[in-house]
Structure 1
């Protein structure tokens, strides 16, 4: 039972890490002007949020740790708000 939970936690952590990395790479690739058109935070703010999110995930690998949860929410908000409305 504990092996299943540990394996599931690793899979979840890897998936969230990939989502955070994807969000950061997407943010880096976007032009700054796209953020003002979408009426969202400036690119620099998103870069800080997403960079800290990814760094926190590297430091605290547990996806249920509070900094990871906050970073996950920030990354998912970026993906929904910026990437979701730009395409």
Structure 2
């Protein structure tokens, strides 16, 4: 029998897994670019982004806390900023050549 509580727990699990995938993708993507690309794009350095995204991934894996925990929320926003702003800027550098 499906209760409201079971449905809510299922939805939260799906959201948490999707956010974990987003953070993992952003972290792996940050490792793919050279430090010079970050400098040329005028963004934070590669070590800074790698540490931020790696910490976000570690926090979600170790602490959990659900998708609406404060630390999880902060690092999720950081991953979306990377994917929406930094990654496109890095990609545009390689297209210009």
Give TM class, smaller chain: over 0.9
In the alignment, structure 1 segments of 5+ residues that lack a partner are: none
1:15-71 CA deviation, whole Å, 9 max, x = no partner?
000000000100111111110111110000001100110011012321111110011
Determine if the alignment matches structure 1 residue 44 to structure 2 residue 47. yes
For residue 85 of structure 1, the aligned residue among 85, 89, 97 is 89
**TM score, norm. by length of structure 1:** 0.94
> Offset of 1:9 from its aligned partner?
0.3
Q: Which residue in the other structure is 1:35 paired with? A: 38
For residue 7 of structure 1, the aligned residue among 5, 10, 14 is 10
> Offset of 1:79 from its aligned partner?
0.7
Pick the structure with greater CA Rg: 2
**Runs of 4+ displaced beyond 6 Å:** none
**TM score, norm. by length of structure 2:** 0.84
Kindly tell me the number of residue pairs found equivalent between the two proteins. 87
Determine if the alignment matches structure 1 residue 19 to structure 2 residue 25. no
